[in-house]
Amino acid sequence: MYYCGPTVYNYIHIGNARTTLWFDFIRRYLTYRGYDVTYVMNYTDVDDKIIERANLEKIPPDAVSKKYTAAFERDMAGLGARPADILPRATDHIPDMIDTIASLIEKGFAYEADGNVWFAVESFEGYGKLSGRTLEDMRAGERIEPHAGKRHPLDFSLWKAAKEGEPSWESPWGPGRPGWHIECSVMSTKYLDMGFDIHGGATDLIFPHHENEIAQAEAFAGQEPFVRHWLHAGLVQMEDEKMSKSLGNFVLAKDILERQSGESVRYWALAGSYRAQPSFSEESLRDAEQAYERWKTFYDAAAHLLGQEMPEVESEPRRPMTEPIASEGPESFVARLVDALDDDFNSAGAFAAVHEIVKEGNRLLEAAQRNEDAARKDLIEHVRVFLEMTNVLGFSFAAEAADSELVAGLVEYLIDLREQARKEKAFDRADAIRARLLELGIALEDTPAGTRWRLGG
């Protein structure tokens, strides 16, 4: 799986974050269903926008790309996304790109003019097959920059001749830097080979970026397909327009994360189909937060009641396609989740299945609070399934409790009280503190260096 990652020249807006979250989720879900997924996401770290930004911030271009790569990683971690398996940077692959461009010239798909190299769209028969448009449609529909030396207005840049003060690399056509499109063709096939399974991005990349990726890769390899399945995520709308930096109507992910929990933003981003074009509003974020709180409240109440009996979930549960899932009992909620997600990643159905199990779980919780033993057992099973389902959607409740500073502070305080009791030879009180903590799932261990604690008994 390959996903067109960010051009690292600025903080990402919530639309970029949503698309990135979605492809991380698709990768997670396919892994859950038993596929062995290799996930590649590139960083575009050489680009006009990065050079502009460098001039603006008065720092070198590579400092710009380092700064915003780190910011991207921070934002995505805050939203619960895992890094891709392979994260190639364009500037680490310049020789590979030069080799591909040289070969495209040799095969008659590209030409050089004044230190620039252009891809000749008329030389590639399948040009337009992804977007379903002819050269004439595209020419009429796009604003095309005229450039001396181009043979056809739609010919696109493979190599840009160096300009004064810009980063550049030596090449057979003189110093310069690669165009944006060539990096994705070269890096995706380098790590995944021709004919890889899934290529992702947002719908605004279909033309020209993905159309150009196909032309370059298939012309170079002399075979098709470049990619077996294209998946395009819809664009987040802001007041009925697409959210974009160029339109100036964007909200940065980092600003939202300062006032909302990562979980509630993740809920907002994933609860509707990847193809949808959700409208962004503070109200829609608040709705997501409230819905997520229902899950969290259930988890907290169950953890409080069950204490040490609280089930744990594997960090990466698996439900391979080949293994049937029971259609009765708590497992039936898993069956509903996978039925939904197996259908073009219908996340709305999956989120509904989680709300259903929470509803049933709350009913069992009340019964268990009345000391009904059967309900308690049933509740434990439902919590286990709930944790598996939410884990697949990228929510991890257990880890949150373990990370909580508040929990750590309270446990340290109780350890101090116990220590004091022991010094006063009030061993009954000291033992009672230890026993009570153990009931809550916190184990104490006395070492020569002092008392240590850990979660999970």
Q: Which residues bind Zn ion (CB under 5 A)?
A: 4, 184
Least spacing, CB of residue 2 vs Zn ion, in Å: 8
CA 126, 131, 137, 141 torsion-angle sign:
negative
Nearer to Zn ion, 234 or 394 (CB): 234
Residue of 451, 415, 419, 422 whose CA lies nearest to 436 = 415
Cα(278)–Cα(285) distance, rounded to whole angstroms?
Answer: 11
Residue of 257, 203, 272 whose CA lies nearest to 76 = 257
Least spacing, CB of residue 77 vs Zn ion, in Å: 22
Question: Under 8 Å CB-to-CB from 327, ≥6 apart: which residues?
Answer: 335
Please confirm whether the linkage preceding 88 is cis (ω < 30° from 0).
Answer: no
- Cβ atoms of residues 307 and 440 within 8 Å: yes
Cα separation of the two ends of the chain: 40
Nearer to Zn ion, 158 or 387 (CB): 158
DSSP 209: I
Nearer to Zn ion, 184 or 357 (CB): 184
Nearer to Zn ion, 65 or 347 (CB): 65
417 token code pair: 């009280």
Nearer to Zn ion, 18 or 434 (CB): 18
Nearer to Zn ion, 190 or 384 (CB): 190
Least spacing, CB of residue 390 vs Zn ion, in Å: 31
Stated as kind and residue range, the H or E segment containing 241 is strand 241-242
Least spacing, CB of residue 181 vs Zn ion, in Å: 7
Nearer to Zn ion, 184 or 379 (CB): 184
Least spacing, CB of residue 453 vs Zn ion, in Å: 48
- Cβ atoms of residues 393 and 337 within 8 Å: no
Cα(42)–Cα(391) distance, rounded to whole angstroms?
Answer: 26
Least spacing, CB of residue 205 vs Zn ion, in Å: 6
Least spacing, CB of residue 4 vs Zn ion, in Å: 3
Cα(203)–Cα(234) distance, rounded to whole angstroms?
Answer: 6
Cα(231)–Cα(201) distance, rounded to whole angstroms?
Answer: 7
Q: Which amino acid is at 142?
A: E
Least spacing, CB of residue 102 vs Zn ion, in Å: 21
Nearer to Zn ion, 40 or 121 (CB): 40
Nearer to Zn ion, 202 or 310 (CB): 202
Nearer to Zn ion, 4 or 288 (CB): 4
Least spacing, CB of residue 50 vs Zn ion, in Å: 16
Q: Which amino acid is at 137?
A: D
Least spacing, CB of residue 220 vs Zn ion, in Å: 15
Cα(431)–Cα(414) distance, rounded to whole angstroms?
Answer: 12
Nearer to Zn ion, 208 or 394 (CB): 208
CA 390, 391, 396, 398 torsion-angle sign:
positive
Least spacing, CB of residue 52 vs Zn ion, in Å: 20
Pairing of strands 176-178, 196-202: unpaired
Q: Which class for 376: exposed (0-12), middle (13-18), buried (19 or more C-beta within 10 A)?
A: middle
Q: Which class for 62: exposed (0-12), middle (13-18), buried (19 or more C-beta within 10 A)?
A: middle
